[in-house]
Amino acid sequence: MADGARTGPVGIGVIGAGNISSQYLRNLTAFPDTRVLAVGDAIPDVARARAAEYGVPVAGDASVVVGHPDVEIVVNLTIPAAHAEIAELAIGAGKHVWNEKPLAADRAAARRLLGAADRAGVRVGGAPDTFLGVGLQAVRRLVDEGAIGRPLTALALMQSPGPDSWHPNPAFLFQDGAGPLFDIGPYSLTTLVQVFGPVESVAAAGSTAHPRRMVGSGPRAGETFEVTTPSHVGALIRFESGGSAQAIFSFDSPQWRALVEITGAEGMIVVPDPNEFDGKIRVRRLGARRARTATTTVARFSRGIGVLDMARAIREGRPHRATGELAYHVLDVMSAIAESTRGGAFARVESRVAPAEPLPPDWDPYARTLTG
């Protein structure tokens, strides 16, 4: 899948100039192996302001990104309901696509997206890329080296009062295709798949604390909006490997908490926040009186490293790590969890995916590796 006609840094275009775009643009404009060439948004003036902030030469609507001859990867940061439509627009223009999570609003749209990319001979990548951060990569190495023995079970909690308290436009995060399951669930679920492998089946229950919420910041502060999806989801997860996990994803808790604990046959490991790229890792061996801090990692990078790995992979003709297939499996798991909250029984997960190849320990996003 190498693009033999091109050399040097990979051209990037961003569609969606909202909140998350700042993190991507800050990094993608700093990596020597990527060049951000265009920013697009449904509101072109918003795109122009964001482009000016990061020194990006071209801005406007989505067409200026997909039509740019030197843009090779379109980074799709639109709202979840638009992910598939924008991705297919880019694929139709012969571009590789990186989608923010979730990959699409539902399985059918995601399958169409992946099928279109396969026919066009382009790649799809998908968030989250936090599993490529130094923290979760260190966890992966410890588990692979046998620090806790064979992984058996896990506990995953990601809970908060909800993004309505700080997000200037939070309504879409409380609609179908979002909620805590689809918004914050991908971080824990992607992490667990990297350790346990693919999910086989799930069971879940969901609830909604408040039928309406209020915007807590920005120019729309004080406005209310309807909540149409569960704001709290608890799930039981069975992995094909025989392992299992319990998970809670909630926007209803006054306590902010992000926790992943993995227990193995010979010990347990406390994982850094899966929504971050670094953190403290603690290991407690079976029979030990206390846990020890295995390592404290400090992030050298953040969102966008999955795009960078994809860019380098295109030039090198190798697989990238945060693949569309991985993003689809996580979407499949979340969709099955959502179905179980409505039906009250275990739901099978049909897709399968292998854990990604770990990054080399000395992988450096700020190294210049693509020349020409």
Residues acting as catalytic residues: 101
What is the rounded distance in angstroms from the CA atom of residue 51 to the CA atom of residue 39? 6
Nearest to 72 by CA among 42, 41, 113, 28: 28
Reduced to 3 DSSP states, what percent helix, strand and coil does the chain have, rounded to the nearest 5?
35, 25, 40
222 phi-psi bin (left φ>0, alpha ψ -120 to 50, beta other): left
Joined together, the tokens standing for residue 121 give 């001979």
The answer to whether 309 touches 322, Cβ cutoff 8 Å, is yes
Sheet bearing 73-76, strands edge to edge:
58-60, 34-40, 10-15, 73-76, 96-99, 124-126
Q: What are phi and psi of 330, to 5 degrees?
A: -65, -40
The CA R_g of the chain, rounded to the nearest whole Å, is: 20
Joined together, the tokens standing for residue 314 give 């295109």
What is the rounded distance in angstroms from the CA atom of residue 254 to the CA atom of residue 111? 37
Judging by beta carbons within 10 Å of its beta carbon (0-12, 13-18, 19+), is residue 312 exposed, middle or buried?
Answer: buried
What is the rounded distance in angstroms from the CA atom of residue 133 to the CA atom of residue 89? 30
